[in-house]
Structure formats: C-alpha cells, structure tokens
Amino acid sequence: MNVRISKMLATLAPSATLAVAEKAAALRAAGKSVVDFSAGQPDFDTPAHIKAAVGKALEAGDTKYPSPVAGKTPLREAICTYYKQHAGVSYEPAQVVVTVGAKDALHLAFASLLDPGDEVIIPAPYWVSYPEQVRLFGGLPVILQSGVARGGLISAAELRAAITPRTRAFVFSSPSNPSGATYTRGELDALAAVLREHDIIAISDELYHRLVFDGNPSASLAACEGMIDRTLTVNGLSKTYAMTGWRLGFACGPKPLVSAMARLQGQTTTGAASFIQTAAVTALLGDQTCVDAMRAAYRERCEVMYAALQQIAGVRCERPSGAYYCFPDVSGTFERLGVRNADGFAERLLELAHVAVVSGSAFGCDTHIRLSFATGRDVVEEGMSRMVRALK
C-alpha cells in the first residue's frame, strides 16, 4: 500500500539540533572522542526532592487521567504563587493551562490563535520550532533580522514596522534560546507600548527565566502595564529544574485563549501525567537552592566558553546574560575554512576538532553557531581548547 503523507508534513523541517546530536553519536560509535556542544538540555540530574515527590505520588496511586484537563488545581495554584513570587505577575488558576512540555503549550497556542494567512512576528535568532509550528496551522512567519547583532532583541520601532493588518501574534524568548540575550524591563515596557496599540497576542517564552546570571529572574512582559490580558506566558520545568524528560510545561494568559488551549488538549494529549503534575508542585514551591547551584555552574562555564571564543580570529560573540548558550558570529572564518555558511562551518568543525555545534541556520542566522555549555566545566574546557587549536 502506498501511504500518502500530508502536504503539510512534507514541508516540515526536521529538528536541526537532533540531527547534529545523531552525527556526533555516529562518530562516537566509530570510536572517536567527540565533545558535544549541541545539547539543549541540562546535564544535571533532577533534584532528589523532586524525584522523591514523584515516587510518593506513584505510591499513593496517583496514576489516573489528569483532571481537570487544564491541569490539576493544586498545580495551577502553585504556578500562580510561583509567578507572583518570581515575576510579580498575579494570575488565577483559570488563567493557567498545564501542558505536556512548553513545546506543547506553544503548539496549542498557535493552533488556538491562527487561521490560514495570519502573520506571526518572530525575531531572529529564534527557537527552531517557532516558524515550523506557525506553518503547521497555515500561519506566515514574519522573520525579523534586524536584531541579530543583539542576540534577537528588537526595538519598539522595529516591532512597529513589522506589524500589518494580518499580524496575529508576536513570539520571542527571553533569555533567548539560542543567544542568551535577555530583555530588560525598560525594553519590554517599550515593546508593550507598541503592542497595546494593536490587537496582537504576545507569546513570551520564559523557559530560562530563572537562569539569568545576575541571580534575578528575567523581566516578564505580562508584568508591564496593560499586558497581562495581551500576553501568553509560556514556561515549564525542563530547564530550571533539569526535568526535560518529565514533559511538564504551562501557559498563563487571557482566559479565552487558555480555555481554548485546554479544549484542544482534551482532544489531543489529555494533559501531562497526573503523578508528574503532583511532583511539579514540589519543584515550584519546594527548596530552590538547586536552582541557585545550577545557575552558578552555568555562569562559571559561560565565562570559560566566552573567554575562549575571544581568542579565535574571525569570531565575534556577545556575552550571554542568561540561559546556557553562546551564539557567536563565525562568518569571519568562512574564507580560511573554505566554507560558505554556518552549516559548512559546523561540518568542518566536527571534522577538524570532533566538536559538535548547531548551525545558526536552524535559528534563522546562517552566519552563527550555537554552543551549549550545559555540560561539565572540564568538557567545556576541552571542547574550547580543540576549537581554538583547529581554528587558528
């Protein structure tokens, strides 16, 4: 039988980050020593007190369907408490939907918001799935390249210039994946002033908001004047608490949108596993020293990686202020390496130094690469030493 795959999926790009990881794995299987800077997840284990909480939930028989579909009430209440404490934003449980990871929250949001032809403003560099998810629902990604030199941060004037009558949403991450750039409260206030002039939903991806190197959570767009009913805040436990495999995300925002997302979830995943939702309360409201320790380690590794990048001729990099990535412009090395873009650079680096990175083309910037320092300091030191030697 000839199985016909939909035209929509035929145009869907595969995950570039997973593709690089597979190439690195193939080299390892061949007996090569590979330093992998492509990872998008913490190298830390989930903190013990959170694992203990899920064990207790399982022992208590918390294994039925999650109810309600929008998320268990104690967890949605905990999310409200958490956001009030860490972002100064006051939500109520009816404004919260719990999802199967933050990626699922974005998927539900675009599905609930977009009709064919609707435009979504996406500053580059962007997280790899934003444009693909927009296209899944017939939306048109409007990619802004004007903020590339600032790690994807755009000005109010740049946002205003991109808005058209077809604009439905504006999506961004702060701190940024892939650049680590982080908006200040003043910069968000300026964007908010523009957004209040239009019927546009802002989707603020705050997955790394606790991983800011000055120790303070990043500013939240929803905290800006008049923005709580215009902003869908997306977050989760994956990065802050080293829980990527648990698949627990959430979104907070206008009740009509959150309600629509929950209705769709009822016909798709039904929601995150019940026992994981129970343990998530412990993560959000329990001991937070684990977050401080992980953030301190990331900051230290960042300094090592950033300092090494400064030693490579033809490489320019803004210092990240959060997350766990560096996103250098490597276009100054293309001529001497005999490559034309970041894809070629990544392949050449893997060949020369056995160091795996992700090409910036996956993030809308074919002059950059993303390096993750979500790995041990010794690994960062070894990988950067290899890069410096190979790119002399």
Q: For residue 348, name the pLDDT band (cuts at 50, 70, 90).
A: very high
User: What residues contact residue 198 under an 8 Å CB cut-off, 6+ apart?
Assistant: 163, 167
Clarify whether residues 109 and 226 are in a common domain: yes
Amino acid code (one letter) for 339: V
Clarify whether residues 241 and 357 are in a common domain: no
Is the Cβ–Cβ distance between 129 and 106 less than 8 Å? yes
Q: Roughly what angle, to the nearest 10 degrees, separates helices 129-136 and 102-113?
A: 40
Clarify whether residues 91 and 208 are in a common domain: yes
- Kindly tell me if the per-residue pLDDT of 5 is higher than 90: no
Structure tokens at 309: 């990048």
Clarify whether residues 373 and 281 are in a common domain: no
Clarify whether residues 202 and 73 are in a common domain: yes
Range of the domain at 108: 59-285
- Kindly tell me if the per-residue pLDDT of 17 is higher than 70: no
Residue 281 is assigned to a structural domain of this protein: yes
Clarify whether residues 277 and 154 are in a common domain: yes
- Strands 369-372 and 358-359, by their bridges, are antiparallel
Residue 54 is assigned to a structural domain of this protein: no
C-alpha separations of 197 from 16, 86, 146, 159, 192 in Å = 36, 28, 21, 12, 9
Clarify whether residues 25 and 118 are in a common domain: no
Tell me the per-residue pLDDT of 69-127, one tens digit each, with 9 for 90 and over. 999 999 999 999 999 999 999 999 999 999 999 999 999 999 999 999 999 999 999 99
pLDDT of residue 189: 98
Clarify whether residues 195 and 128 are in a common domain: yes
pLDDT of residue 392: 84
**Number of independent structural domains in the chain:** 2
* 296-321 as b/e: b if 16+ CB within 10 A: ebbbebbebbbebbeebeebebbebb
Given 285, 302, 323, which residue is the final one in a domain?
285
Q: For residue 205, name the pLDDT band (cuts at 50, 70, 90).
A: very high
pLDDT of residue 8: 79
Given 239, 267, 285, which residue is the final one in a domain?
285
Clarify whether residues 85 and 139 are in a common domain: yes
Clarify whether residues 177 and 259 are in a common domain: yes
Residue 51 is assigned to a structural domain of this protein: no
CATH code of the domain in which 280 resides: 3.40.640.10
